[in-house]
Amino acid sequence: MSDAILSFEEAMEKYDPVLGFEVHVELNTKTKMFSSAPNVFGDEPNTNVNEVDLGMPGVLPVLNKTAVESSIKIGLALNCKIAEYCRFARKNYFYPDTPKNFQTSQYDEPIAYDGYLDIELSDGTVFRVEIERAHMEEDAGKLTHLGGSAGRIQGADYSLVDYNRAGVPLVEIVTKPIQGAGSRAPELAKAYVAAVREIVKNLGVSDARMERGNVRCDANVSLRPHGRERFGIRSETKNVNSLRAVEHAVRYEIQRHAAVLDSGEPVVQETRHWHEDTRTTTSGRAKSDADDYRYFPEPDLVPVVASREWVEELRATLPEPPAERRKRLQADWGYSDLEFRDVVNAGVMDEIEETIAAGAAASVARKWWMGEIVGRAKNADVDPGQLGVEPATIVELSKLVEDGKINNKMATEVLDGVLAGEGTPAEIVEKRGLAVVSDDGPLLEAIDAALAAQPDVADKIRGGKVQAIGAIVGGVMKATRGQADAGRVRELILEKLGVNA
Amino acid sequence: MAAINRDDVAHLARLAHIEMSAEELDRMAGELAVIVDAVKSVSEAAGEDVPATSHPIPLNNVFREDVVGHTFTADQALSGAPDSDENRFKVPAILDEA
């Protein structure tokens, strides 16, 4: 049964949302957090494991130095303090995604704490999100539920477990309660997760691919009546794993909470599952004494002491922060403030940068991404970067246009062909017979025919009314089924009529 | 007074998904209480000036370089598993959690 919801506008009139996020970032180290098994995505199940990852008796974890350094870098990039001394802790729970029956995590001694991130919203408003902590831990194995209703845990007969992901280094970034976002809460949610993703990608410490689970978000939402200080009861929507989903999930939960509160019932404190297909959440597990994780300091690992020298050494290696990078890119590309903000809001800045790096002019890269690809992505309901357009494809398309082999109209048709998996642009031009008629012979014939069909227009042009040429060019384009280069047609017509324009 | 009572044992058993009968809870509460009390005597020996520790040796920063070492094959990994399928561990469905 689906939950009742209020319209977002009505929810906003009555209530004030408070948000909180836990973002898990998988580090892209070569090996796992505590074992030397490879940290690689997509390999055959249970081949990137050894005795430590499988929690065999008597094994000892040894901490990955690079993972610690990456964690410190993340902390610094989030404007956090770095703990001079911190330890790991065992988070005890019994579920087959961890063979040890505990997750090695950090509890009351996170490596980084008390930071903030300034988030720029689509209209340029800057909203400060306070970071409570960023701590080190390990990822769990991957369960696939089988039998019963496919893929859902409810009704499954059994589960299959792949421990390749068990022990992959994670940094969990936890915000303080985010207040005052009002109706911009869904947008802020998306922008915050986008900013974290951008930062870890920019640091080079994570592949940051959300579709692979490199960055995963749990979104906490609660509502309180306007003017009330005390927070409402929150829900935690787990594994919201795309930027769009983060926005939608927060919006949906606000609407659902509002309906619950309106009915006079209390919100149930529980985890919620996000469903991308219906863009709704369903009830997961109620918070209960099952959340008693019996944390205690991990006796198999020694403390991490981050000397100030070490922290400063790492700080010196930090790349240009994304906000500064944006300023630089805008200047390099020569985009106006509005053009650049549109690019950022459309989520294609990285794609445009890659396209320019691949050899396209800044204006060409923007024209393709903003003019063609963003719209197609919207229709397909995916992020533009996920549509499958490679920078090289755009470079090839624009080269074909520049060389006069195809015109702009054909180029968009070729792009559709590329997206349909028909091959490279050159192959599609060939297969679809799209080449611009460049041999002047057939063009001249078509021009003669068009001039003969509209003698009055021809006279006007001869008489100096060059703007009338459109009718002749149109006739030629029609006759060549759009395969002529309109610029060349214009030149030839003027030449033919002996007009200098 | 014992640091562990019967309710604590029942709570821990529930957390660990271990089914225990009333008699087992009674017996285990007694046994665990003795063990915990014995361990507690350490705190009597340690004075105010001895800070709590989680490791017996005063070491910090024991790190491993990020270099790939050995792994098991899937067959080796699964060799001790009660059941497996498609090179993965096969476990009973757990209905009440996700």
| Half-sphere exposure for A442 (CA within 13 Å, toward CB) | 11
> Are A414 and A459 members of one domain?
no
| A64, A160, A298: residue with CB nearest B66 | A64
> Are A164 and A44 members of one domain?
yes
Looking at the complex, report in whole angstroms how far the Cα of residue A35 sits from the nearest Cα belonging to chain B: 8
The number of domains in chain A is: 3
Rounded CA-CA distance A485/A137 in Å is 60
In the block, tokens 């001790």 appear at: B80
Which of A415, A432, A449 terminates a domain? The answer is A432
**Assigned domain for A252 exists:** yes
**Assigned domain for A387 exists:** yes
**Assigned domain for A73 exists:** yes
From A50, which residue of chain B is nearest by alpha-carbon distance?
Answer: B71
- CB under 8 Å to A7, separation ≥6 — which residues? A255
| A96, A154, A304: residue with CB nearest B91 | A96
CA angle A197, A198, A202 (to 5 degrees): 120
> Are A159 and A19 members of one domain?
yes
Q: Please give the ipTM for the structure prediction.
A: 0.89
Asked whether the beta carbons of A206 and A25 are under 8 A apart, the reply is yes
**Assigned domain for A311 exists:** yes
* Distance, CA of B59 to chain centre: 24
Amino acid residing at A223: L
Amino acid residing at A242: S
- CB under 8 Å to B57, separation ≥6 — which residues? A302
What's the CATH number where A477 sits? 1.10.10.410
> Are A378 and A448 members of one domain?
no
From B15, which residue of chain A is nearest by alpha-carbon distance?
Answer: A290
**Cβ neighbours of A225 (radius 10 Å):** 11
Answer whether B72 sits within 8 Å of A285, measured CB to CB: no
Rounded CA-CA distance B55/A367 in Å is 61
> Are A221 and A114 members of one domain?
yes
Report field, pTM of the whole predicted structure over 0.95: no
User: Residues, chain B, total?
Assistant: 98
> Are A369 and A293 members of one domain?
no
**Assigned domain for A390 exists:** yes
Residues in chain A with CB shorter than 8 Å from the CB of B17 are 94
Q: What is the pLDDT of residue A77?
A: 97
> Are A365 and A293 members of one domain?
no
For A420-452, give one letter per residue: b (16+ CB within 10 A) or e: eeeebbeebbeeeebebbeeeeebbebbeebbe
Answer whether A95 sits within 8 Å of B71, measured CB to CB: no
Tell me: the pLDDT tens digits for A353-391?
999 999 999 999 999 999 999 999 988 888 888 888 889
Amino acid residing at A231: F
Helix H or strand E segment including A347 = none
Nearest to A243 by CA among A17, A21, A419: A21
Which of A315, A340, A365 terminates a domain? The answer is A315
**Assigned domain for A213 exists:** yes
Asked whether the beta carbons of A49 and A55 are under 8 A apart, the reply is no
Tell me: the pLDDT tens digits for B34-90?
998 888 888 788 888 887 788 888 899 999 999 999 999 999 999 999 999 999 999
> Are A358 and A420 members of one domain?
yes
Tell me: the pLDDT tens digits for A64-113?
999 999 999 999 999 999 999 999 999 999 889 999 999 999 999 999 99
Answer whether A159 sits within 8 Å of B93, measured CB to CB: yes
Rounded CA-CA distance A401/A409 in Å is 10
Q: What is the pLDDT of residue B97?
A: 47
**Assigned domain for A2 exists:** no
Token readout for A322 is 């994304």
> Are A449 and A423 members of one domain?
no
From A35, which residue of chain B is nearest by alpha-carbon distance?
Answer: B69
Asked whether the beta carbons of A270 and A283 are under 8 A apart, the reply is yes
Token readout for A288 is 């209960």
CA angle A234, A237, A241 (to 5 degrees): 150
From B71, which residue of chain A is nearest by alpha-carbon distance?
Answer: A50
> Are A349 and A457 members of one domain?
no
Whole domain around residue A406: which residue ranges? 322-432
Answer whether B98 sits within 8 Å of A273, measured CB to CB: yes
| A94, A154, A298: residue with CB nearest B15 | A94
Residues in B whose CB is inside 8 Å of some CB of A read 11, 14-17, 54-55, 57, 59-74, 77-78, 85-98
> Are A417 and A470 members of one domain?
no
Q: Is A399 helix (H, G, I), strand (E, B) or coil?
A: helix
Which of A315, A340, A356 terminates a domain? The answer is A315
**Cβ neighbours of A335 (radius 10 Å):** 20
Rounded CA-CA distance A259/B72 in Å is 52
> Are A65 and A127 members of one domain?
yes
In the block, tokens 């005890």 appear at: A92
Tell me if the domain spanning B1-40 has CATH number 1.10.20. Answer: yes
Residue A438 has pLDDT above 70, yes or no: no
**Assigned domain for A3 exists:** no
Residue A477 has pLDDT above 90, yes or no: no
